[in-house]
């Protein structure tokens, strides 16, 4: 059974139908990517699945539970976490306090010390800057912090919305390496990216989103090889 | 010298009251992004609850009941009047808040009449303090407000709920993604603000033992001014703005020539600060999303 199953999801902003009934699923242990151009509905998909914006139709099932109408904070407690577009770390809190916020949904705080040490090992830069105000971090460091903060809640499903946006090519490679790493440690990943080449390379499966509809799906390598994806998203 | 000292203590205690009320404004603004103009009237409600329960001759019971009643009232107001407007235009919320303010004042008038009521909670005298004649009630007010402010600061900084409040005030969406129940945090914020307003009601009765249905109106506006001067949304800002305004008011009242213009002077300070530093002393510039 799929960990996340989205069926005929529809979202409207006023009269505009941003999502026209999309269906996709994510199996346990997979990396699944949604690719698509600006305005295709990627972020809308992510935000409506996690309950940040309301859905106008369709059904979302997570880990066997119907979460179509569940509020966001409860979904997070069920084990779905999202690194939002633009990172949205808490600018006025320190790096450490941000990680603390990431563990907000964990009731048992006994593993906190280990978790935070694991984050500092994975992201040495965060360890160096643990007491620094997060708003003063560079873009790359903020992305690391946003990812570290998300992992603190031990998600079953980690959703990442454009994690490579605005980063230098070197950092982009690093971010994709980390995503692969997190996945290897047993976390299922749903990724949204404009960087189709890099994300398809690490994905088990992928979907192409255009104007609020899914127009193509397949394995990462199939899509990377497909004529249409190469023309539209890989520059040739 | 004595005059300066007694004026300063008066100013600090008055400022402490303003700070307590301003904290309610600023915390609600920070977390729910709304101006709760009914906040001042909670002070009045707290005063009347004390008046009613002073019939038992037990001041501590009266104070406790005032705090409990105001907390419940604050939560009910939020649930009934403001929560349905979440996501509505700020103007609609503002008008609703003003409506709630008039509702509370009118209800108090219907229940208690428009004549002012006398209520003496404690009989405090005055003491000689470094040669100055100082009201004990001022010292009590000052001491309690200092304790409250320290507790509140520690609460926000060091508890799970407090940190959640900071997170919600900074980014509601990201806070939800941490698993924070934003509605619950808003409820807690209204509860804290209302309990502080109830205490402010007590301190007003200590200063002057009469109560009318408009008791909260002027302190409400003054405290709002204090919150804006300090930087609305900022907890230390509300404390600073409140104390500052209290001291200015106390000094101004002592100088015969300008005493009648005290309110005007205070609001002029607001205007000047808004011109020079629109975010207030400790307010943060709104960061634009890059």
- Per-residue pLDDT of A53-86, as tens digits, reads 999 999 999 999 999 999 999 999 999 999 999 9
Residue A103 and residue B179: Cα distance in Å, rounded?
Answer: 9
A12 DSSP β-pair partners? A17
Phi, psi of A212 (to 5 degrees): 80, 10
B230 vs B228: CA distance, rounded Å: 5
Distance CA A60, CA A67 (A): 6
Residues 6+ apart with CB under 8 A from B152: B23, B192, B235
CB-based contacts of A105, cutoff 8 Å, min separation 6: A73, A76, A77, A153, B178, B179
Chain B residues whose C-beta is within 8 A of a chain A C-beta are 160, 163-164, 166-167, 170-171, 173-182, 284, 287, 289-290
Using an 8 Å CB-CB cutoff, list chain A residues near B30.
none
Helices (H) then strands (E): counts for chain A: 10, 10
Chain A residues whose beta carbon lies within 8 Å of the beta carbon of residue B179: 73, 76-77, 104-105, 153
Q: Provide the shortest C-alpha distance from residue B218 to chain A (in Å).
A: 33
Q: What are B84's two structure tokens?
A: 């349905």
Cβ A71–B160 below 8 Å, yes or no? Answer: no
Alpha-carbon distance B16 to nearest alpha carbon in chain A (angstroms): 27
Element (H, E) at A122: helix A112-122
Enumerate residue ranges in chain A where pLDDT < 70.
Answer: 236
pLDDT in tens, B66-90: 999 999 999 999 999 999 999 899 9
Annotation: CATH topology of A4-88+156-233: Rossmann fold (3.40.50)
Banded model confidence at residue B290, pLDDT cuts 50, 70, 90 = very low
Looking at residue A236, its pLDDT comes to 62
Chain B residues near residue A89 by CB distance under 8 angstroms: 174
What is the mean predicted confidence (pLDDT) over B156-184? 95
Residue among A53, A114, A43 nearest A83 (CA) = A43
Relative to beta strand A31-35, strand A188-193 is: parallel
- Quick one: pLDDT at residue B286? 56
d(CA B102, CA B70) in angstroms, rounded, equals: 16
Torsion of CA A60, B171, B33, B184, to 10 degrees: 60
Q: Do A220 and A203 meet the contact criterion of CB atoms below 8 Å apart? A: yes
Q: Which value does ipTM take for this structure?
A: 0.94
Residues 6+ apart with CB under 8 A from A76: A50, A105, A153, B176, B177, B178, B179
Partner residue opposite A105 with nearest CB, options B170, B173, B178: B178
Number of residues that this document lists for chain B = 290
For the purposes of burial, counting CB atoms within 10 Å of the CB of A185, is it exposed (0-12), middle (13-18) or buried (19 or more)? exposed
Q: Which tokens sit at A133?
A: 């105000």
Which candidate from B167, B284, B289 shows the least CB-CB separation from A101? Answer: B167
Can you give the pLDDT at residue B289?
A: 41
Per-residue pLDDT of A147-165, as tens digits, reads 999 999 999 999 999 999 9
Nearest to B179 among A76, A84, A88 (CB): A76
The 3-state secondary structure of chain B reads CHHHHHHHHHHHHHHHHHHHHHHHHHHHHHHHCCCCCCHHHHHHHHHHHHHHHHHHCCHHHHHHHHHHHHHHHHHHHHHHHHHHHCCCCHHHHHHHHHHHHHHHHHHHHHHHCCCCEECCCCCCCEEEECCEEEEHHHHHHHHHHHHHHHHHHHHHHHCHHHHHHHHHHHCHHHHHHCCCCHHHHHHHHHHHHHHHHHHHHHHHHHHCCEECCCCCHHHHHHHHHHHHHHCCCCHHHHHHHHHHHHHHHHHHHHCCCCHHHHHHHHHHHHHHHHHHCCCCCCCCCCCCCC
**Residue B103, number of CB atoms within 10 A of its CB:** 14
- Distance in angstroms (rounded) separating the CA atoms of residues B156 and B202: 24
What are the boundaries of each domain within chain A?
Answer: 4-88+156-233
Region B206-221: mean pLDDT is: 94
Q: Is the pLDDT higher at B128 or at B146?
A: B146
- DSSP three-state, residue A127: helix
* Dist. CA B172–CA B32, nearest whole Å: 9
Q: How confident is residue B285, by pLDDT bands cut at 50, 70 and 90?
A: low
pLDDT of residue A83: 97
What is the CA angle B236-A101-A184, rounded to 5?
A: 160
Q: pLDDT at position A172, please?
A: 94
Q: Which of B175, B177, B182 sits opposite A81 (nearest CB)?
A: B177
- Residue pair A17/A10 in contact (Cβ under 8 Å)? The answer is yes
Instruction: State the sign of the Cα–Cα–Cα–Cα dihedral B154, B157, B160, B161.
Output: positive
Write the DSSP symbol of residue A111: G
B25 C-beta neighbours (distance < 10 Å), count? 27
Q: Is B106 exposed, middle or buried (0-12, 13-18, 19+ CB in 10 A)?
A: exposed
Task: Name the nearest CA neighbour of B177 among A101, A117, A86.
Answer: A101
Dist CA B201 CA B215 (whole Å): 9
Q: Quote the pLDDT of residue B132.
A: 82
**What's the Rg (C-alpha) of chain A?**
17
pLDDT of residue B126: 87
pLDDT of residue A90: 96
- CA-to-CA separations, B290 to A87, A89, A175, B147, in angstroms, rounded: 11, 13, 20, 40
Residue B236 has a CB neighbour count (10 Å cut-off) of 15
Q: What is the DSSP letter of A89?
A: -
């Amino acid at each position: 059974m799929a960990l996340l199953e989205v069926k005929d999801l529809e979202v409207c902003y006023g009269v505009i139908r941003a999502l026209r009934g999309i269906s996709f699923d994510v199996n346990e242990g997979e990396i699944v990517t949604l690719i698509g151009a600006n305005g295709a509905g990627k972020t809308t998909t992510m935000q409506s699945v996690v309950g940040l914006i309301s859905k106008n139709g369709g059904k979302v099932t997570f880990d066997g539970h119907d979460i179509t109408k569940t509020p966001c904070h409860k979904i997070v407690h069920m084990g779905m976490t999202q690194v939002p577009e633009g990172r949205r770390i808490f600018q006025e809190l320190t790096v450490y306090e941000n990680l603390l916020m990431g563990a907000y949904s964990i009731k048992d705080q006994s593993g906190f010390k280990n978790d935070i040490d694991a984050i500092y090992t994975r992201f040495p830069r965060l360890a160096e800057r643990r007491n620094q105000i997060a708003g003063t971090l560079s873009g790359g460091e903020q992305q690391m912090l946003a990812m570290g903060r998300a992992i603190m809640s031990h998600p079953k499903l980690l959703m990442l919305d454009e994690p490579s946006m605005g980063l230098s090519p070197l950092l982009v490679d690093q971010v994709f390496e980390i995503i692969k790493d997190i996945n290897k440690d047993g976390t299922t990943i749903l990724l949204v990216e404009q960087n189709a080449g890099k994300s398809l390379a690490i994905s088990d499966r992928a979907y192409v989103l255009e104007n609020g509809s899914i127009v193509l799906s397949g394995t990462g390598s199939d899509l990377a090889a497909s004529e249409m994806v190469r023309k539209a998203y890989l520059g040739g | 010298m004595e005059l300066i000292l007694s004026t300063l203590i008066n100013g600090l205690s008055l400022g402490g009251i303003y700070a307590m009320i301003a904290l309610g404004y600023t915390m609600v603004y920070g977390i729910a992004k709304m101006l709760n103009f009914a906040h001042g009237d909670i002070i009045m409600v707290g005063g009347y609850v004390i008046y009613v329960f002073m019939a038992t001759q037990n001041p501590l019971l009266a104070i406790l009941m005032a705090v409990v009643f105001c907390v419940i009232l604050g939560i009910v107001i939020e649930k009934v009047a403001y929560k349905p407007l979440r996501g509505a235009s700020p103007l609609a919320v503002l008008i609703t808040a003003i409506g709630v303010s008039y509702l509370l004042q009118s209800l108090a008038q219907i229940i208690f009449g428009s004549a002012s009521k006398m209520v003496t909670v404690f009989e405090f005298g005055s003491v000689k303090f470094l040669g100055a004649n100082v009201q004990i009630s001022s010292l009590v007010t000052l001491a309690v407000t200092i304790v409250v402010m320290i507790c509140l600061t520690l609460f926000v900084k060091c508890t799970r709920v407090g940190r959640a409040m900071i997170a919600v005030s900074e980014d509601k969406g990201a806070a939800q993604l941490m698993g924070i129940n934003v509605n619950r945090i808003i409820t807690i914020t209204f509860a804290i603000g209302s309990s502080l307003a109830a205490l402010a009601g007590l301190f007003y009765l200590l200063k002057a033992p009469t109560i009318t249905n408009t008791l909260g109106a002027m302190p409400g506006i003054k405290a709002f001014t204090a919150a804006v001067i300090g930087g609305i949304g900022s907890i230390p800002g509300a404390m600073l703005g409140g104390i500052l305004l209290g001291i200015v008011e106390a000094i101004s009242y002592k100088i015969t020539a300008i005493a009648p213009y005290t309110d005007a002077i205070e609001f002029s300070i607001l205007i000047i600060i808004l011109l020079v530093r629109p975010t207030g002393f400790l307010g943060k510039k709104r960061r634009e999303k890059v």
